[in-house]
Structures are given as C-alpha cells and as structure tokens.
C-alpha cells in the first residue's frame, strides 16, 4: 500500500450489544441479508466498564454460524490475558483500549504477530496524540463517541474534532488504517462522521429498533451517498 493510502469505502460494523441474545443465529442471518460484512463484538468485564457481556465461548459458537469478519472490541482490564482466547475463538480483528493497558505497543505487536488485524480504541477524553508511536502497528483506530459500556447513548459531538485530527494522522501512515467511530451512530450522525473522515462505523441500537434489515440497508445507503 502506498504512503497515505485512504480507504474511500465506508464500512458498517453492526454491534450485537442491543440484539436479541436469545436468537443470535437469526440476527446473523438478518445482518448478512442486510449487507453486513463485519460483526462487532463488544466484550465487557464489569471492571473497565460497568457492564458485563460475553466471552470466547459465545464468539466461538457464533463463528460456527457465519463468515462475517469478527471485529472484537475488548473493554476489559488486563486485555493481555484475552488476546489468545479470542483469537482461538475466531476473532479476525482485535481492538484494545489505550486506557486499559500499560503496554499498548506490546499488545498490538502480539495481535499482529498472530496474523490478525490490530485495533486501538480511544475513550472520549483520551487525546489522539497518544497514538503517535503506535501507528505502524495499527489497522484500526476506533474513536469512542460515547463512554464505553452501554448501547443506546447519545453521540458526543466534540469527537468530530478528534476524528478530523486522527484523519490527518492516518493519511500520513505508510499502511492503510481504518478510521472507526463507535457509539450513537444513526442516519443523522453517520454523514457527520463520514464528512470528518471516518470510514468504519459501528452501530448497535439504531439497527435493532424495528426492522434490522431495513435499518442496515438505510444506513448503508446513507454511507454510500455521503
Ligand atoms: O462499544 C460500544 C459501547 O461501549 C458500542 O459498540 C455500542 O454497542 C454501540 O451501540 P450504539 O451506541 O450504536 O447503541
Ligand atoms: Fe464497541
């Protein structure tokens, strides 16, 4: 990839956090029918964030049912211990939080050495300049546009400024880096984050209110127009 290469395609990564957990096989089929390529899996430990979700066994069960690209978002203390279990469970991409470890460089290196895509997420208050000496190890920068822990929160507007700053960092990197946004993405906020430079949009509660397939198609249409 040439220096400064930018992926112009906008990707949607549906988060199942607000889906019907009693029928995830149906949810996977709906997302595939709606045109999804990714599945965003929110892993919460009740410590790094005040909520609990699921672990590698659930991811492994889902892996057996779909070829969607598994984008695992680790919102946990000590993510060091969970890289291997999630890779064994079928993760294609693993995103750690900058705030969750003293050794983000080592962890990103570990994910890359396993042949998987490495992502780093930034909480709303974390400055993007922290990524300067990590950039060569990063495939995805995930800007949290809500405080992590729950679906259904409102988009924090000042994260648009951070997206613009990260866009200029990403353009200077030698490899392609996806610029992701996670939290409060819907038909109104998607055009704003795309205009600011994002090309990887995580969306949860918007999709699962009403008709999932229609909502996903509507969001993909907005992304193609923006
Ligand atoms: O990581 C998180 C929340 O911590 C997200 O992935 C949410 O699941 C997105 O949900 P919405 O904000 O779209 O409802
Ligand atoms: Fe997430």
Distance CA 109, CA 189 (A): 33
219 lines ligand 1 (CB under 6 A): no
* Predicted confidence (pLDDT) at residue 220 exceeds the cutoff of 50: yes
Q: Is 200 annotated as a binding residue?
A: no
pLDDT of 96 higher than 60: yes
Per-residue pLDDT reduced to its tens digit, 103-120: 999 999 999 999 999 999
Confidence band, pLDDT 50/70/90 cuts, at residue 8: low
Kindly give the pairing relationship between strand 93-97 and strand 117-122: parallel
Respond yes or no on whether ipTM tops 0.90. yes
Atom of ligand 1 nearest to the CA of 183: 12
87 three-class SS: helix
Q: Does domain 11-225 have CATH number 1.10.10.10?
A: no
What confidence score (pLDDT) does residue 22 get?
A: 97
Name the pTM for this structure: 0.96
How does pLDDT run across 121-177, given as a tens digit for each residue? 999 999 999 999 999 999 999 999 999 999 999 999 999 999 999 999 999 999 999
151 is in an annotated binding site: yes
């Amino acid at each position: 990839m040439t220096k400064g290469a930018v992926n112009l395609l906008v990707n949607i990564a549906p988060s199942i956090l607000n889906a019907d957990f009693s029928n995830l096989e149906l949810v996977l089929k709906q997302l595939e029918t709606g045109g999804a390529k990714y599945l965003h899996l929110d892993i919460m430990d009740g410590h790094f964030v005040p909520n609990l979700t699921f672990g590698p066994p659930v991811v492994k069960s889902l892996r057996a049912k779909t070829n969607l690209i598994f984008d695992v978002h680790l919102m946990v203390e000590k993510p060091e211990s969970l890289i291997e279990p999630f890779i064994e469970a079928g993760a294609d991409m693993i995103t750690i939080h900058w705030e969750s470890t003293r050794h983000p460089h080592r962890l990103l290196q570990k994910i890359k050495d396993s042949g998987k895509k490495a992502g780093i997420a930034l909480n709303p208050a974390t400055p993007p300049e922290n990524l300067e000496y990590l950039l060569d190890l990063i495939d995805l920068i995930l800007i949290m546009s809500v405080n992590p822990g729950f679906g259904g929160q409102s988009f924090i507007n000042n994260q648009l400024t951070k997206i613009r700053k990260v866009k200029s960092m990403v353009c200077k990197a030698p490899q392609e880096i996806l610029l992701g946004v996670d939290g409060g993405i819907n038909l109104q906020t998607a055009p704003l984050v795309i205009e600011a430079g994002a090309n990887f949009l995580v969306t949860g509660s918007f999709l699962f209110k009403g008709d999932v397939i229609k909502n996903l198609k509507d969001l993909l249409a907005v992304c193609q127009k923006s």
